[in-house]
Homo-oligomer: A and B are copies of this chain.
């Protein structure tokens, strides 16, 4: 049987993706920008099984069922549709190093790895743009994990909404894990509720697009302070728009706010650091490489800390014409 195995890493957005203009095609309201990490990879293999009548999915060694399995199967359908003919069903085996569903974007690394492994197994194009467009359909932010280092994911239509690399200054991220449990409200559901009920939703979309323009300029100037400021402001605006949904959704708990407070305090003491958080309780502090050890030490009392550098894009580790 044909097997292809790929690895991809989570990414942390410096300008967040929050809100879709097309739910089926996973087209974002605005572009976003992220750093792909060198930590917490997902490794996924796709084994074509001509005898199978259904796809199978095993996550961290456990067979998955229900919506989790259906999401993978729908994604494989997209790959098979692109392949044409009547390609076989597959067995997908995936292993995450990051805790699932706690805001560390395991769905990003997961669908980026799956996009590459499935593309290899089914003989689809494996250029970055094709992979990013395909990964996007599994989970929006997966479009960015296809790309190594820093990635800009363009808004646009089905053809033009993909991520590509952007040069930037070397950065470190100190990931502070304050809560390993799953989210009360999934990002998908929260995006939907935000779009339907937040009075700030339209203004958020425009603000995110403007933040992206400002961030791209800050990247061009390799200006870490501006990058950090824009990232923290953009993250707090995303959490603001989420919190303004009805009923409200709050992802930042007391421990998360304590990290934001600590980063602000450290900044006051001269350490040029900034905080961001995806749709979950964990907080990520951004700094220059030379400040990472000090920052990690200062934040260690507040949660589990891990320093991440810019990491590689999705890579094929084994199988089909690797």
Contacts and interface: CB of A to CB of B under 8 A. Distances in A.
Contact of A200 (B200, B247, B255): B200
Interface string A44-61: 000000000000000000
Contacts of A243: 236-237, 239-240
A250 B240 contact: no
Greatest chain B CB density within 10 A among A207, A232, A237, A239 is at A237
A299 to B, nearest CB: 14
B252 A257 contact: yes
Contact of A236 (B202, B204, B229, B244): B244
Given A200-B203, A202-B203, A254 B261 contact: yes
Interface residues of A, number: 31
Nearest to A197: B233
Given A203-B203, A240-B200, A233 B248 contact: yes
A253 interface: yes
A260 B253 CA distance: 9
Interface in A242-272: 243-244, 246-248, 250, 252-258, 260-261
Q: Identify the 10 closest CB pairs spanning chains A and B, nearest first.
A: A240-B240, A199-B207, A254-B254, A200-B200, A254-B258, A199-B203, A240-B244, A236-B248, A254-B257, A237-B244
Interface of A: 199-200, 202-204, 206-207, 210, 229, 232-233, 236-237, 239-241, 243-244, 246-248, 250, 252-258, 260-261
